[in-house]
Amino acid sequence: MHRSFLFLFTLAAILPGVSGLAQTSASYYNEPYRPQFHFTAEKNWLNDPNGLVYYKGEYHLFYQYNPYGKGWGNMHWGHAVSNDMLHWKHRPLAVYPLEGTPGNYTCPAFSGSAVVDWNNTSGLQKGNEKTIVLIYTAMHCGQRLVYSNDAGKTWQTYPNPVIPVMKNGTMDERDPKVFWHEPAKKWVMVLYIGPDKDEKGRGIAIYNSTNLLQWEQKSFIKGMYECPDLFELAVDGNPAEKKWVLHGADGGYFVGSFNGSTFTPETEKIKMDVGNNFYAAQSYSDIPAADGRRIQIAWMNGGTYPDAPFNQQMAFPCVLTLKRFPEGLRVCRNPVVEIENIYGEKFSVTNRQVQPGSNILSAVKGDALDIQAVIEPGTAAAFGFVIRKGNSETSGTPVRYDAQNKKLSVLGKTVDLEPVNGKIELRILADRASLEVFANGGKISLSGCFIPVYTFNDLEFYSEGGNVKVESMEVYKLKSAWQQ
């Protein structure tokens, strides 16, 4: 739970809860700034993704949610399910504050995670369905559980905290991420602990349990802040060589080793996403071994959506891989292949020289696009795209590559980007109020929100100071994931 968003919350005369299935009305999820393939709540405030878990063909997405207004506060867990991480069905709220009333909850339901208790280690299973367990922070009331024995349709509250509030009362402990560690035959929890105003004292505690109900702290790592995640990835896809990644809310991560109770960093802290709007990312648990992907969703914090009934959106689900580069191991992020489920009209270009002043994408219009390109800078000083371009030279949102200085700029953020074999690879997901840019196989990612002129839908590719060669370019217009 990101606690710097302690603005006054707006209380609306709305009953808590959300509706069931997606609607068929053309106006549903079709406001000018409503994302068309990124997840948003139907209305009101949303932040951290919570409890990402897969069970029997359904991806569950829980999230921090205020059912009473468009500002942060009154934290509950919203809930949605999907079979492809695109077409979401809203479910009723899953986790409620333990005590109090709106605007004055004693124990609001802050962030956490979810697991499937396949072997009934907790003893909570009743019936044939395996138990889905949600582990979360009831702020001021310890780490708590709710659980489901009907595949996530209804939820029961475990009566006691599984980790009580720390006795000294000066530490802030929250955001448990739990997973099963097969070699140790134990559950692992990574939990943020630390005084928020003392960066040197912050860190991640690692706990072990055999049953999800009793936990023992084993170690502590300084230098990380809230919403931790810990997971294993194969290096360059080689199952014989694996490393662990410890990730924090701000996108910083360490690569290292983990023995079930202690994480040992082997790198400096590295930034996973360098855009303006990437926070509190979490990855899915219980993805089947036959799939094997590590799938991550982040909150695109800080976006603005004028006159919209909702506030905030999730980033698009991405697959994480670990690759070796000359400078060391790096996590790469790339959109899940399921995005192809909403592909519409395709525009493609191959082996085309582009001169200054020309636009090979003048025929393409759209507010939801997947752009994939491999480009040789050639003699150009710079090249790039303008998203949601209008009828003036200064309109639109640029994605610009400075070929002379080898730098990529997106929404005010600039990063170094070296060509690979003389080429720059770019992938851009453009939605109605966000851009996610992935460069050179996902080694670089930048997630950002923006406010376009909503009537502008043109797309431009340009070159400056010389010619570039477009080896390949594919632009897919994306259908709305919300219109049935």
* Domain count for the chain: 2
Confidence of residue 194 (pLDDT cuts 50, 70, 90): confident
Would you state the pLDDT for residue 170?
A: 57
Distances (CA, A) of 111 to 21, 178, 255: 25, 12, 24
Would you state the pLDDT for residue 197?
A: 66
Final residue in a domain of this structure, among 290, 316, 335: 335
Does residue 413 lie within any of the structural domains? yes
Would you state the pLDDT for residue 223?
A: 87
Would you state the pLDDT for residue 109?
A: 97
Place of tokens 């349990």: 209
**β-bridge pairing 424-431 and 413-416:** unpaired
CATH of the domain at 83: 2.115.10.20
Final residue in a domain of this structure, among 316, 335, 354: 335
Examine the domain organization and report whether 165 and 305 are in the same domain. Answer: yes
At residue 52, does pLDDT exceed 90?
yes
Give catalytic status of residue 402 as yes or no: no
Does residue 434 lie within any of the structural domains? yes
Does residue 109 lie within any of the structural domains? yes
Examine the domain organization and report whether 237 and 285 are in the same domain. Answer: yes
Question: Which tokens belong to 160?
Answer: 């006691």
Examine the domain organization and report whether 432 and 358 are in the same domain. Answer: yes
Examine the domain organization and report whether 302 and 355 are in the same domain. Answer: no
Would you state the pLDDT for residue 454?
A: 86
At residue 18, does pLDDT exceed 80?
no
Examine the domain organization and report whether 91 and 65 are in the same domain. Answer: yes
- Expressed in percent and rounded to 5, the helix, strand and coil fractions of the chain are 0, 50, 50
Examine the domain organization and report whether 93 and 198 are in the same domain. Answer: yes
Does residue 298 lie within any of the structural domains? yes
CA dist 268 and 222 (Å) reads 13
Q: Which residues pair with 115 in a beta bridge?
A: 133
At residue 295, does pLDDT exceed 50?
yes
Does residue 126 lie within any of the structural domains? yes
At residue 13, does pLDDT exceed 60?
no
How many Å is the maximal CA-CA distance in the chain? 69
CATH of the domain at 422: 2.60.120.560
Final residue in a domain of this structure, among 285, 314, 335: 335
Examine the domain organization and report whether 281 and 412 are in the same domain. Answer: no
Examine the domain organization and report whether 270 and 374 are in the same domain. Answer: no
Cβ pair 458, 389 in contact under 8 A:
yes
Would you state the pLDDT for residue 10?
A: 33
Confidence of residue 15 (pLDDT cuts 50, 70, 90): very low
Cβ pair 445, 273 in contact under 8 A:
yes
Q: Which residues pair with 282 in a beta bridge?
A: 297
Please give the residue range of the domain that contains residue 319. Answer: 44-335
Examine the domain organization and report whether 353 and 312 are in the same domain. Answer: no
Does residue 61 lie within any of the structural domains? yes
Distances (CA, A) of 137 to 105, 114, 130, 483: 13, 12, 23, 35
Could you list the beta-strand ranges (E) of 17-127: 44-55, 58-66, 76-82, 88-95, 100-101, 104-105, 109-117
Would you state the pLDDT for residue 3?
A: 41
CA dist 367 and 388 (Å) reads 7
Would you state the pLDDT for residue 354?
A: 96
Examine the domain organization and report whether 272 and 142 are in the same domain. Answer: yes
Examine the domain organization and report whether 97 and 144 are in the same domain. Answer: yes
Would you state the pLDDT for residue 221?
A: 94
- Contacts of residue 247, defined as CB under 8 A and 6 or more positions apart, other chains included, come to 228, 229, 230, 231, 253, 272, 281
Examine the domain organization and report whether 141 and 61 are in the same domain. Answer: yes
The pTM of the full predicted model, rounded to 2 decimals, is 0.94
